[in-house]
Amino acid sequence: MQETMCRQLNRRSLYCEKKVEFSELGTTGSNILLVGKATRHRFQITRFLLQQSYAVHSSENIEEALSYIENKPPDLILLDFAPLDLGTCALCARLKSIRNIGEIPMIFISQTNTDEERIRAFASGATDYISTPIIIRELQVRITTHLALRDRQLIQRQVPCTRMAELEMQNSRLITKIAGLKQEKQTLRERSALINCLFEASTIGIVFWRSDGTLIDANSAFLQPLGLRQEDILDESINMLQLVVPEERELTALNLANLSPGRRYLPYEKHCLDREGNVIPLLVGSAHLEDNEDIGVSFVMDLSEQRRMEKELFESRQQLRDLASHAENAMENERKRIAREIHDGLGSLLTAMKMDLSLLRMETQEPTKDFRRRLYSMQRILEDAVRVTRQIASELRPAVINLGLLAAVEWLAENFRQRSGIACSIEACGEIPLADARATALFRIIQESLTNVARHAHASEVIINIAQDNGVLKLEIADNGCGFDPGAIGNQSFGLLGIRERLEALAGNLVIDSSPGRSTNLHITLPIEEIAS
């Protein structure tokens, strides 16, 4: 019997450990389990408990008590068995060993009240011991006291549990936060490494400086052109004012004094000195940091190679201009020679032949009709040859150029009017003395401009205005034609390209004012005297 009861206790205790939960306790309204056989004092106890508003459940045997405890753990257990046998002690001991249920106060009610029984009860795990006859006031005090003590223990246990839960939650938050900080630290470390890599690998110089001009950090692209070392920067022994050329130091100091936090400064060219005193042209763009009023950063590009290439390009273009000018002068001289030879040589021979034909006609006595017709035909051919020869000589180099620019332009305008049928007028303040080369170049420019008008402008009138102002000749050629877009022409028009090349060789300038559907004005300026290079 006892072995069977112990097996039931073990099996049910496992179930109770998983399912038992406590409700809030109180001195009244608590659930009390009364285990024992129906006796007179048991009815007395039950009536008293109900009067005190306790919820009372009675069980006459251990099996029924275990079933009730399994479903609804009570707040206090009263064990009323006489005498206190092994089954009751085993029940008490087993209940005490079960988690949560073992905390339920258990009061033994004894009818024998022997010392041996009292010792056995407390050894089994009893919380208290009451002997019969029952004193109601004593029972009330004991029940109230044990329920209050149990409530206090639960509260004391719940407070540390709540605090422990809070600490665990805070610890979890801290662990999560630490993990996040570690990740951020790793991200910052990676970004810092990337920034350092970009800082050193950049082909553009980067330098950090203080508001007093002291350099505090720089990459190799900044240090190398100036012949500086990283150690010179890290010990803050170099100031920006030491690097710039003397004539720019005052402006640099003024710019440093007027720095504004967060402001960006457009790139500008600055000339600095390297360790050997050579001037290094630099393009510098700067910014003053917003969160640190004392620190700024500059991005620097070495312009030495660019300036060298620009110089070589300028010299190359100047050589091309000189070659073009030399070729133009050579061509003009050749034209002059050919025109002179045609005029003096071929023209003289043709004139002599014409005179010989005239003499032959006068000396011939009674010429036949055929002879006379042939003679007249030869004379007409000679006259046409003389006229064509003179025209070719004039087109190669009009002799009127030797009379001055204004006379040459008037001859050119009249010739243009006769050939194109376009009215051409000249407005001039008088003759402007020019060297032969400049006068010839200007004549060719006007000639090319009139040719363009005749070919493309569909104009009915051209006005040529020539004036001078403070040693500068100003020429304007205006037509009332259809106009054009200068930007769309580019270098496709060899006429305009030739005009520009002639002017560049003479330090002149051309401005075209035109648009489709509107008249065209060419504004040309040219120094009267040759400028020494």
Domain holding 279: CATH number?
3.30.450.20
Domain holding 69: CATH number?
3.40.50.2300
Say which range, 223-227, 381-385, 464-468, 469-473, has the weakest mean pLDDT: 381-385
How many domains does the structure of the chain reveal?
4
Whole-angstrom Cα distance, residue 33 to residue 31? 7
- Does residue 190 belong to any structural domain of this protein? no
- Does residue 195 belong to any structural domain of this protein? no
Give the confidence band of 128 by pLDDT, cuts at 50, 70, 90.
confident
Among residues 302, 332, 355, the one where a domain terminates is 302
Residue 15: pLDDT over 60: no
Residue 444: pLDDT over 90: no
Residues recorded for the chain: 533
Residues 30-54, mean pLDDT to the nearest whole number: 82
Residues of the chain with pLDDT > 70, as a percent, come to: 80
Residue 113: pLDDT over 70: yes
Range of the domain at 525: 400-533
Q: Is 157 found in the same domain as 27?
A: yes
pLDDT of residue 19: 34
Distant-in-sequence, close-in-space partners of 384: CB < 8 Å, separation ≥ 6: none
Residue 29 CB neighbour total at 10 angstroms: 13
Q: In this predicted model, which residue has the larger pLDDT, 27 or 77?
A: 77
Residue 9 CB neighbour total at 10 angstroms: 20
pLDDT of residue 161: 63
- Does residue 284 belong to any structural domain of this protein? yes
- Does residue 179 belong to any structural domain of this protein? no
Whole-angstrom Cα distance, residue 506 to residue 468? 16
Could you please report the per-residue DSSP string of 338-354?
HHHHIIIIIHHHHHHHH
Say which range, 77-81, 290-294, 410-414, 498-502, has the weakest mean pLDDT: 290-294
Q: Is 407 found in the same domain as 381?
A: no
Which range in 85-89, 166-170, 386-390 is most confidently predicted, on average pLDDT? 166-170
Residue 101: pLDDT over 80: no
Q: Is 329 found in the same domain as 247?
A: no
* pLDDT tens figures, 252-309: 888 887 777 777 888 888 889 888 888 989 998 888 877 666 788 888 988 888 888 8
- What is the DSSP code (8-state) at residue 454? I
Among residues 377, 397, 417, the one where a domain terminates is 397
Q: Is 407 found in the same domain as 391?
A: no
Residue 37 CB neighbour total at 10 angstroms: 10
Whole-angstrom Cα distance, residue 253 to residue 251? 5
Which range in 134-143, 202-211, 458-467 is most confidently predicted, on average pLDDT? 458-467
- Does residue 404 belong to any structural domain of this protein? yes
Chain centroid offset of residue 177 CA: 32
Beginning with the edge strand found earlier in the chain, give each strand of the sheet holding 31-36 in spatial order. Answer: 55-59, 31-36, 76-80, 106-110, 128-131
Residue 85: pLDDT over 60: yes
- Does residue 82 belong to any structural domain of this protein? yes
Give the confidence band of 346 by pLDDT, cuts at 50, 70, 90.
low
Q: Is 256 found in the same domain as 222?
A: yes
Q: Is 154 found in the same domain as 21?
A: yes
Q: Is 319 found in the same domain as 211?
A: no
The model's pTM is: 0.40
Domain holding 507: CATH number?
3.30.565.10
Residues 363-391, mean pLDDT to the nearest whole number: 74
pLDDT of residue 190: 83
Closest to 423 in 3D by CA, of 431, 413, 432: 413
* pLDDT tens figures, 230-259: 887 877 888 888 888 998 888 888 888 777
Whole-angstrom Cα distance, residue 482 to residue 273? 56
Cis peptide before 73, with omega less than 30 degrees from 0?
Answer: no
Q: Is 138 found in the same domain as 123?
A: yes
- Does residue 319 belong to any structural domain of this protein? yes
* pLDDT tens figures, 134-158: 888 888 888 888 888 887 777 766 6
Beginning with the edge strand found earlier in the chain, give each strand of the sheet holding 205-210 in spatial order. Answer: 215-218, 205-210, 295-302, 279-288, 264-273
Chain centroid offset of residue 284 CA: 19
Q: Is 112 found in the same domain as 224?
A: no
Report whether 245 contacts 279 (CB < 8 A).
yes
Give the 3-state secondary structure of 48-92: HHHHCCCEEEEECCHHHHHHHHHHCCCCEEEEECCCCCHHHHHHH
- Long-range contacts from 525-529, C-beta under 8 angstroms, 24+ separation: 525/472, 525/473, 525/474, 525/475, 526/438, 526/442, 526/472, 526/473, 526/475, 527/471, 527/472, 527/473, 528/432, 528/433, 528/434, 528/438, 528/468, 528/471, 528/472, 528/473, 529/471
Among residues 279, 302, 325, the one where a domain terminates is 302
Closest to 16 in 3D by CA, of 58, 61, 74, 56: 74
Structure tokens at 87: 């089954």
Q: Is 357 found in the same domain as 208?
A: no
Closest to 452 in 3D by CA, of 394, 532, 510: 510
- Does residue 36 belong to any structural domain of this protein? yes
Closest to 252 in 3D by CA, of 242, 260, 267: 242
Whole-angstrom Cα distance, residue 108 to residue 127? 8
Q: Is 520 found in the same domain as 413?
A: yes
pLDDT of residue 2: 42
pLDDT of residue 75: 87
Q: Is 150 found in the same domain as 227?
A: no
Structure tokens at 439: 């006068």
Residues 416-443, mean pLDDT to the nearest whole number: 85
Closest to 349 in 3D by CA, of 371, 323, 382, 321: 382
